[in-house]
């Protein structure tokens, strides 16, 4: 039965990293706690329907009944206890799984800068000074530290097999820390509807062994394309089902420039509004 459900295509149920595993266990635990109410309610629904069916003349008939302290206590106290248990569970898990929190590891985190565009993902490797589009490669067994922003509308970055879902917004920098236990290939995508190319805005996340990752870096550095200011403007234009593209070099501080572009707009807007208010005054 389970093989027919395609569990191999359900990465949330089959996590490949500690963050995704903790999130899956939290999902299972919360579901089990809620089933403490759901299952008895379902069972009692069938029992009541059977006991008080029209043909059962032995069922107690009490037309004037209106209140029962034990029944009211059961109806209110048990759900209240479950809500408190869920609240305690989720409060602790929320802080434990804070996406901004660095993972405990002897290995130093590997940093990648992520930019959401219409309708593709740009990955910048500041240490290696290379970049790729719609392909995120990183070493397995080493924490992955992502800095995420958007150069368009709000997007949502998500790699289900590794856990974590976080929004990418223009002028803002989000952080996400992930870890792949072993080498593998996983699907990542935008889960926030963002227009015509939304359905094709996905990428491949590749957790590679150290030799394979070094070979990937060497392959990217062989690309004839460079990501300077002019190339970035062309890349940022809307495109659907954009192919995987490699850039052998990247303009310095490109990620910070993208952030500053929107922060500058906000500052200018506030200044213009203040000047208009002063003129009116």
pLDDT digits (tens, 9 = 90+) for 65-77: 888 999 899 889 9
Residue with the larger pLDDT of the pair 60 and 218: 218
Fold (topology level) of 110-266: Immunoglobulin-like (2.60.40)
Q: Which fold has domain 10-96?
A: Helix Hairpins (1.10.287)
Going by the DSSP 8-state scheme, the letter that residue 8 receives in this structure is G
Residue 103 scores a pLDDT above 60: yes
As annotated, the residues of the chain forming the CATH 1.10.287 domain(s) are: 10-96
**Where in the chain do CATH 2.60.40.420 domains reside?**
110-266
pTM over 0.85: no
Other residues' Cβ atoms within 10 Å of the Cβ of residue 223: 16
Instruction: Say how many CA atoms lie within 13 Å of 41 toward its Cβ.
Output: 9
Residue 206, strand partner residues = 137, 185
Q: Does the pLDDT value for residue 60 go beyond 90? A: no
What would the mean pLDDT of 123-136 be, rounded to a whole number? Answer: 98
C-beta separation of 229 from 252 below 8 A: no
Listed in sequence order, the residues at least 6 apart from 26 whose beta carbon sits closer than 8 Å to its beta carbon are 89, 90, 93, 97
Least confident of 6-10, 27-31, 184-188: 6-10
Q: What is the pLDDT of residue 265?
A: 53
3-state DSSP call for residue 52?
coil
146-176 tens-digit pLDDT: 999 999 999 999 999 999 899 999 999 999 9
Torsion angle, alpha carbons of 40, 42, 48, 54, to 10? -170
Hey, which bits of the chain come out as E strands? 110-117, 120-125, 130-133, 135-139, 144-150, 155-158, 165-168, 174-178, 184-190, 202-208, 245-247
Instruction: Judge whether 135 and 123 are in contact, CB under 8 Å.
Output: yes
Q: Is 131 helix (H, G, I), strand (E, B) or coil?
A: strand
């Amino acid at each position: 039965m389970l093989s027919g459900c395609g569990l191999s295509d359900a990465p949330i149920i089959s996590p490949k990293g500690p963050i995704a595993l903790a999130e899956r266990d939290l999902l299972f635990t919360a579901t089990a706690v809620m089933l403490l109410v759901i299952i008895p309610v379902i069972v009692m629904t069938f029992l009541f329907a059977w006991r008080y069916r029209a043909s059962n003349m032995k069922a107690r008939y009490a037309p004037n009944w209106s209140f029962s302290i034990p029944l009211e206590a059961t109806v209110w106290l048990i759900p209240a206890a479950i809500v408190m248990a869920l609240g305690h569970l989720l409060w602790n898990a929320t802080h434990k799984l804070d996406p901004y929190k660095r993972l405990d590891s002897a290995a130093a985190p590997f940093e990648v800068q992520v930019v959401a565009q219409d309708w593709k993902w740009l990955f910048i490797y500041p240490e290696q000074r290379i970049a790729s589009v719609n392909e995120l490669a990183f070493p397995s067994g080493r924490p992955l530290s992502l800095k995420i922003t958007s150069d368009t509308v709000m997007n949502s970055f998500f790699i289900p097999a590794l856990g974590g879902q976080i929004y990418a917004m223009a002028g803002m920098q989000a952080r996400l820390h992930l870890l792949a236990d072993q080498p593998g290939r996983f699907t990542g995508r935008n889960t926030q509807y963002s227009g015509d190319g939304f359905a094709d805005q996905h990428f491949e996340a590749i957790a590679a062994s150290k030799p394979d990752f070094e070979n990937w870096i060497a392959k990217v550095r062989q690309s004839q394309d460079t990501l300077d200011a002019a190339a970035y403007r062309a890349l940022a234009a809307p495109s659907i089902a954009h192919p995987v593209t490699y850039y052998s070099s990247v303009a310095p501080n490109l990620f910070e420039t993208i952030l500053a572009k929107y922060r500058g707009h906000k500052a200018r807007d506030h200044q213009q509004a203040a000047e208009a208010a002063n003129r009116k005054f």
